[in-house]
Amino acid sequence: MSKEEILALLKRSEGYLSGAEMSRQLGISRAAVWKAIDALRQEGYQIDSATNRGYCLRVSPDRLSEGEVRPYLTGRRIGRELRVFDTIDSTNSYLKREAANGLPDGTAALADCQTGGRGRLGRGFRSAPGEGVYLSVLLRPQVPPEEAVNLTAYVAVAVCDGIEAAAGVRPQIKWTNDLVLGGRKICGILTEMGIEGESGALQYLVTGIGVNANQRAEDWPEELREIAGSIREATGQPVARGRLAACLLNALDEMYERWQAGDRARYLERYRADCLTVGRAVRILTAGREERGLALAVDDRFGLVVRLEDGTERTVTSGEVSVRGLYGYL
């Protein structure tokens, strides 16, 4: 852990930081400081050293680690307990397994690579190393399960906020929870609940977010190249994944605090402004049945109001909604 703590100190420092000061702050020996500096250099960090001045971080590789994320965290709750993995099956699955062991509200799990990433409706989610940000957050709100059903919509707005803070561009939302940038999907969100069997009380929520950060066109399998995109492809610039992860967690922290306080109007308003589905022809798939129509609006509970081809209107609250014009239907 001292290596990541040393990295966090160097990132927070505006110039040189002495080995003695790092030793004092962390309660470790000068030799441990030196070993941590040497290990960071071997991982690609360019760290200058000067007699009587100490160490100064000059260049960082694009890594996902606690030391890369924690210096940018500003939230009160989400991310204070942070678990970072090089490889894991699924950050959602990990937090669901550990929820029974008393992990606190706001615990975040972050991975460079997932071997079993999951999306909605049981689909897989491509989570190759060195390219994206894959994170999940454990939430324990004291609310009935029905009040938490629409949390994913609030999360979608928060993720747009986080991406905008980190990369200067704001994605759009394809109802209900896919984020699109430059006409291609760059993010998926999956929220899962834990319900107590006898009482029906909400035990926890785990919301998982997968953001395509630095993929290039050649990184996608042929079948995904017309559908999947990344922040880098849309902007022409790579994004620092550690800072992106921190911006996502900060935005989620703000959203969660407002959501619990009942201050939710801003997120409904922003969702409606960001939603690209409204005003477009859509295809609705529910229980093996397909219907087509025109998306008219997002209602106050984030349902999608659709005028069907026969002229009737109904509000869609579940199922798969595809939008015409995004590479056929996306």
Q: Indicate the pLDDT class of residue 289, thresholds 50, 70 and 90.
A: confident
64-76 mean pLDDT: 92
- Over 90: is that where the pLDDT of 10 sits? yes
Q: pLDDT grade, residue 249 (50/70/90)?
A: very high
Residue 177 in contact with residue 320, Cβ under 8 Å? no
Q: Is the pLDDT of residue 100 over 80?
A: yes
Instruction: For residues 194 and 135, give the distance between their C-alpha atoms in angstroms, rounded to a whole number.
Output: 18
330 pLDDT above the threshold of 80: no
Least confident of 84-93, 261-270, 311-320: 311-320
- How far apart CA 17 and CA 54 sit, in angstroms, is 5
Q: For the chain, give the percent of residues with pLDDT over 90.
A: 77
Pairing of strands 184-195, 178-181: antiparallel
pLDDT digits (tens, 9 = 90+) for 110-138: 999 999 766 554 455 556 778 999 999 99
Residue 213's pLDDT band (boundaries 50, 70, 90)? very high
Once rounded to an integer, what is the mean pLDDT over residues 320-326? 77
* 75-84, 277-286, 320-329, range with the lowest pLDDT: 320-329
Closest CA to 249 of 80, 79, 64, 132: 79
Strand segments, DSSP code E, in 37-146 are: 46-50, 54-59, 82-88, 108-114, 132-139
Burial of 140 (0-12, 13-18, 19+ CB in 10 A): middle
Instruction: Kindly tell me if the per-residue pLDDT of 218 is higher than 80.
Output: yes
Least reliable range by pLDDT among 20-24, 50-54, 128-132, 323-327: 323-327
Q: What is the mean pLDDT of residues 90-115?
A: 95
Overall average pLDDT of the 306-315 stretch: 94
**Residue 214: is its pLDDT beyond 80?**
yes
Identify the burial level of 135 via C-beta atoms within 10 angstroms of its C-beta, where 0-12 means exposed, 13-18 middle and 19 or more buried.
buried
Q: Is the pLDDT of residue 282 over 60?
A: yes
Q: Is the pLDDT of residue 1 over 80?
A: no
Show Cβ contacts of residue 199 under 8 Å, excluding neighbours closer than 6 positions. Answer: none
pLDDT of residue 325: 62
The model carries a pTM of 0.89
C-alpha 171/C-alpha 192 separation (Å) is 23
Helix, strand, coil shares, percent, the chain, to 5: 35, 30, 35
Q: Tell me the average pLDDT across 12-37.
A: 93
Helices (H), the chain: 2-12, 19-26, 30-42, 66-69, 91-99, 151-167, 231-235, 241-261, 265-274
H or E stretch covering 291: strand 289-298
pLDDT of residue 322: 87
| DSSP strand pairing (202-212 vs 184-195) | antiparallel
Residue 158 CB contacts under 8 Å (≥ 6 apart), including other chains: 248, 251, 252, 254, 255, 267
123 Cβ contact partners less than 8 Å away, ≥ 6 residues apart = none
Place of tokens 């250099």: 41
Residue given tokens 């939302």 in the structure block: 173
* pLDDT > 90? residue 181: yes
Using 50, 70 and 90 to split pLDDT, how confident is the model at 90?
very high
Does the pLDDT at position 82 exceed 80? Answer: yes
Question: Does residue 189 carry a pLDDT above 90?
Answer: yes
* Residue 46, number of CB atoms within 10 A of its CB: 12
pLDDT for the residue numbered 323:
86
**CA 199/CA 158 separation, integer angstroms:** 31
- How confident is residue 199, by pLDDT bands cut at 50, 70 and 90? confident
Q: Any idea how long the chain is?
A: 330
